[in-house]
A and B are shown apart, each in its own frame.
Chain A
Amino acid sequence: MTTASTSSVDARLATLLLKDELTERLHLEADLLDEQRFDEWLELLDDDVTYTMPLRLNVHHSDADRASTKEGDVSWFEDDLSTLRMRVEQLATGEHWAEEPRSRVSHLVSNIRLLSVAPNPMAPEMVEVGCRFLVYRNRVADETDIWVGRRTDTWRADTQGHWRLLRRHLLLDQGVLMAKNLTVLF
């Protein structure tokens, strides 16, 4: 009885610490992006990272499965590490006119939840984290965009035990994108 209850407290404590660790990770990531430390941001990514944002569609509510595009369909982007590196490299050329001069960007993440932990919170190797994002961009003079949506991340521990982003799936709450481009990393 006593043993069981101790281990249950330990498990809850481990989950809490894990959530804090990953929350810190998300907040660090937001800072790196907003401070334009893109090379350091790339260091947070797993070699097998996938980074996708499907399109959202208006369909009958009974057809909810088709309300966003799926793997194999068109999306806003479907990146791997090499494409993400290319984006960062393009920004560094100084000739990527859509971000020259650079935009002012803030990433807000909230509603953070651990959706699954494998194999367990005491020895986590892979964690699925859900959150909402609000990304604000202001550019040149009066050009302003606000993107809001839901994000599901999978973070994997590397051999040194550091969390690296393995999968990021973003559901933007816009049907017609009300911005001229998506030069911002989410």
Chain B
Amino acid sequence: MTGVRVEIVRSACAGYANCLDVAPEIFDLDEHDVAVVSAGEFPAEQRQLLEDAAHRCPAKAIIVTDAD
């Protein structure tokens, strides 16, 4: 199984913080209240969690793709 890549579109993030509710160990907000992610790639087991976070983002600022 391939890993998962997560990217934050910083210009889109509005600091809703829904991603922190879903996966506090993966997402955080920086000093500008913009989401940051703890790593670039995650193992396949975390795909569902990450997709939930992306789905919960009202600003559609979280992009989940397959790792190469």
Q: Do A and B touch, yes or no (CB under 8 Å, in the complex)?
A: no
Task: Name A's B-contacting residues (CB within 8 A).
Answer: none
